[in-house]
Amino acid sequence: MLLKAFAKINWSLDITGNRSDGYHLMDMVMQPVSLADEITLVPSPDLSITTGGYPLSRADGSNLALRAALLLRETAGFAGGVRIHLHKQIPMGAGLGGGSADAAAVLTGLNQLWKLHYPAERLEKLGLSLGADIPFCLHGGLVHTRGIGEDLEDRPFRSSFWLLIFQPCRALSTRDIFAAYHAAESVRHPDTGGVLRALEQGDLSLLSCSMANVLEPVSAARCPEISEAVASLKAYGAVAAQMTGSGSAVFGVFRSASVAGKAMEALSPRYRRIFLCHTQSDSIRIMEE
């Protein structure tokens, strides 16, 4: 079985509090984009993983895709296994949800390959135990996400938008960025309702003035290239631009593929891996069975 696991962006990211167990309470608007990893699943007596592509991810027990397969097999009491090959394309440590997308694709594929017939809600609950973004990556669509990642509300959107996405600096530690957020003196919160209305109406002007990511200033303080990249995207025609997740990737939103393509030509000499892509509904796609 061949699957595509799509990256995600945060149209908005806000933090509304903390739970007693240390988890942050989030308020986010997220959507998949066409940038994707490819995952091949081949039935096997044992569980194993190999990796390829760029950036090369670790092929061991720390890999979230393999951990997802192990958890599903243990939960189901399944006696067989699978050979996983993960071909990376999504930058790592970027806030694009690449590891979560890979894990979600493995859960989806093995649920079908092993004929487990688990409903979506059960897969999302399993995914949440591995990572807060996995339920969204299983779910897809334009989603207003709250809680620690388990409260998913589908929202309508009028159109797909063309984006440029790239990672202007090193990967950042999510744990360190959240810790720094709590020490920040001031925070610009997004207008989440405005973001949702803008996407429903296809209003890029409203989207531009409503978007925000409360983690961007603290991430940019550690990696000034983030602010420089956001400014560069706007200088070359992006209607809006910001960091996604806890960083360090940024994205710019363009009015057309041609404008985005011209910006890509201008920025490519400075940023080695830059992706022209678009927003979409699918977070996982089965290409071959």
What CA–CA distance (Å, rounded) separates 99 from 88? 10
Phi-psi region of 237 (alpha: psi -120 to 50; beta: other; left: phi over 0): left
Query: Quick check: is 8 catalytic?
Result: yes
Quick one: DSSP state of residue 215?
T
What pLDDT score was predicted for residue 49?
Answer: 98
Omega before residue 248 within 30° of 0, cis: yes
What pLDDT score was predicted for residue 20?
Answer: 79
The answer to whether residues 215 and 222 touch, using CB atoms and an 8 Å cutoff, is no
What pLDDT score was predicted for residue 207?
Answer: 97
Contacts of residue 257, defined as CB under 8 A and 6 or more positions apart, other chains included, come to 162, 276, 278
State the SS3 of 181-213.
HHHCCCCCCCCHHHHHHHHHHCCHHHHHHHCEE
The single residue of 8, 14, 27, 102 carrying the catalytic annotation is 8
What pLDDT score was predicted for residue 154?
Answer: 98
Could you tell me the two tokens for 32?
């998949």
Contacts of residue 228, defined as CB under 8 A and 6 or more positions apart, other chains included, come to 168
Three-class SS state of 157: coil
Q: Domains in the chain and their CATH numbers?
A: 2-155 (3.30.230.10), 162-278 (3.30.70.890)
Contacts of residue 206, defined as CB under 8 A and 6 or more positions apart, other chains included, come to 194, 197, 198
Q: What is the pTM of this model?
A: 0.96
What pLDDT score was predicted for residue 179?
Answer: 87
CA dihedral sign of residues 254, 259, 265, 267: negative
The single residue of 14, 27, 102, 133 carrying the catalytic annotation is 133
The answer to whether residues 145 and 28 touch, using CB atoms and an 8 Å cutoff, is yes
What pLDDT score was predicted for residue 60?
Answer: 93
Query: Quick check: is 21 catalytic?
Result: no
User: Which pairing describes strands 212-213 and 2-18: parallel, antiparallel, or unpaired?
Assistant: parallel
pLDDT, one tens digit for every residue, the chain (289 residues): 999 999 999 999 999 998 878 788 999 999 999 999 999 999 999 999 999 999 999 999 999 999 999 999 999 999 999 999 999 999 999 999 999 999 999 999 999 999 999 999 999 999 999 999 999 999 999 999 999 999 999 999 999 999 999 999 999 888 899 889 988 877 889 999 999 999 999 999 999 999 999 999 999 999 999 999 999 999 999 999 999 999 999 999 999 999 999 999 999 999 989 999 999 999 999 999 8
What pLDDT score was predicted for residue 18?
Answer: 85
